[in-house]
Amino acid sequence: MKARDQFKWVSLGLLTTWLVLFVLFPNLMVVAVSFLTSDVKEMIRPEFSLDSYAKLIDPLYAKVLLHSIYLAGVTTIICLLVGYPAAWLISTCSKRVQGLLLFLIVVPFWTNSLIRTYAMKVILGNRGIINKGLMELGIIDSPIRMMYTETAVIIALVYILLPFMILPLFSAIEKMPNTYLEAARDLGSTKLNTFRTVVWPLTLPGVISGCLLVFLPALGMFYIADLLGGAGNLLIGNIIRDQILVARNWPFGAALSVSLIAIMGLLMWAYHRANTSVKEAKA
C-alpha cells in the first residue's frame, strides 16, 4: 500500500466495514430469519418455512396491520395536504423570513419526539386544554373523548412527522425554476392547469421523499400508539416490538420488518423514477 493511498483506504475502509457489519449483514440476517420456523425454546429453528408470511395475511393479524397502514396512510395524506401549501407559502416569503420560518420548522424536528408525544397527551386529555377550553366557552357540556382513539394517534403522528414532509417539499419547490411558471402563464395556462401539468410533476420527487419520510416512520412509532392509541389502534411497530421482545417470535417479527423494507424499496424506486423523469424534463 502506497503511503499516498493510506488515507483513502483507511477512511473508506472504516465506513465500508461499519456499514457492512452493522447495516448490510444484520438486515440480511433478518431476511433469512423471516423464512425460518419459530420455536418456543430456541426462538428459531433452522427449518425453511413461509409460516410467518402466511401469518401476515391471517385475518387475526391482517386486520391490525391494515388498520396500522390506514393510520399511517391518513397521516401521510394530511401531512401532504398541510405540508404542500405550507412549503409553497414559505417559498414565497423573502429570504430573511424564509430562514426564520424554516428554523421554526426545524426546531420541533430536533426536539425529543417522545416528550412532544407526551405533551400531546396533556392537550388531548379529557381534562386537557382543548376540552377545558371548549367547555369554558360553553360549546360542549361534557369532555369529548379524544385520548385512546384513532384521532389522537393521527393528530400526534401528524404533529411529530409534519416537518419531515415540509422540508423535502420546500427544497423541491425551491429548485423549480421560475421561468417554467412564467412560461406557463405567458402561454395562457390557468393556475390549476399549471399546477397539474408543470408544478406537480416537477415537485414529485419532493412529494415522494416526503411521503417516504412520513409513512414509514409512522408505521413504526410504537410509543405514540402506547401513549395515545390504546389497544384498538396499534401500529406495526407495536406488533414488531411485542413479537420480538415479548412473544419471542423472531421469524414473524422479522417478516413484519421485511415487509417494511419492501414498502421502503417500493417508495425508493418511485422516487428514483420521479427524479429521472424530472431531470429528463429539465434537459
Partner 1 sequence: MIGRIGKWGFISLLFIYLYLPIVVLVVNSFNSTKSGIRWGEFTTKWYSAMWNNSGLMDAAMNSLLVATVAATAATVIGTLAAVALHRYRFRGKGALNGMLFVVMASPDIVMAVSLLALFVTIGVQLGFWSLLIAHITFCLPFVVVSVYSRLSGFDPFLIEAARDLGASQWRTFIKIIVPMAFPAVAAGWLLSFTLSLDDVIISSFVTGPSFEILPLKVFSMVKVGVKPSVNALAAVMLLLSLIMVAISQFLLKQKPSA
User: Which residues, 172 to 211, sit near partner 1 by CB under 8 A?
Assistant: none
Least distance to partner 1, CB of residue 105, Å? 8
Among 8, 63, 175, 279, binds partner 1 (CB under 8 A): 8
The beta-carbon contacts of 59-67 under 8 Å, at least 24 apart in sequence, are: 61/239, 64/234, 64/239, 65/236, 65/239, 67/233, 67/234
Least distance to partner 1, CB of residue 110, Å? 4
Among 65, 86, 161, 167, binds partner 1 (CB under 8 A): 86
Q: Does 92 bind partner 1 (CB under 8 A)?
A: yes
Contact call for residues 254 and 31 (beta carbons, < 8 A) = yes
Least distance to partner 1, CB of residue 180, Å? 21
C-alpha separations of 197 from 65, 183, 272 in Å: 36, 12, 20
For partner 1, the closer of residues 187 and 246 by Cβ is 246
| Sign of the torsion angle spanned by Cα atoms 83, 86, 92, 98 | negative
Least distance to partner 1, CB of residue 232, Å? 17
Q: Grid coordinates standing for 260?
A: 417494511
Q: Does 129 bind partner 1 (CB under 8 A)?
A: yes
For partner 1, the closer of residues 136 and 187 by Cβ is 136
Least distance to partner 1, CB of residue 60, Å? 21
Q: Where are the beta strands (DSSP E) in the chain?
A: 37-39, 43-45
C-alpha separations of 42 from 56, 242, 249, 256 in Å: 22, 17, 10, 20
Angstrom distance (rounded) from CA 28 to CA 278: 33
Contact call for residues 169 and 87 (beta carbons, < 8 A) = yes
Q: Does 85 bind partner 1 (CB under 8 A)?
A: yes
Contact pattern for partner 1 over residues 27 through 46, marking x by CB under 8 A: x-xx--x-------------
Least distance to partner 1, CB of residue 57, Å? 20
For partner 1, the closer of residues 14 and 50 by Cβ is 14
Least distance to partner 1, CB of residue 218, Å? 9
Q: Does 10 bind partner 1 (CB under 8 A)?
A: yes
Angstrom distance (rounded) from CA 55 to CA 123: 38
Q: Which of 273, 106, 158 is nearest to 205 (CA)?
A: 273
Tell me phi and psi for residue 44, to 5 degrees.
-135, 145
Among 205, 206, 210, 220, binds partner 1 (CB under 8 A): 220
Q: Does 128 bind partner 1 (CB under 8 A)?
A: yes
Stretch that binds partner 1, among 3-11, 184-192, 194-202, 274-282 (CB under 8 A): 3-11
43 strand-pairing partners: 39
Stretch that binds partner 1, among 54-62, 86-94, 175-183, 194-202 (CB under 8 A): 86-94
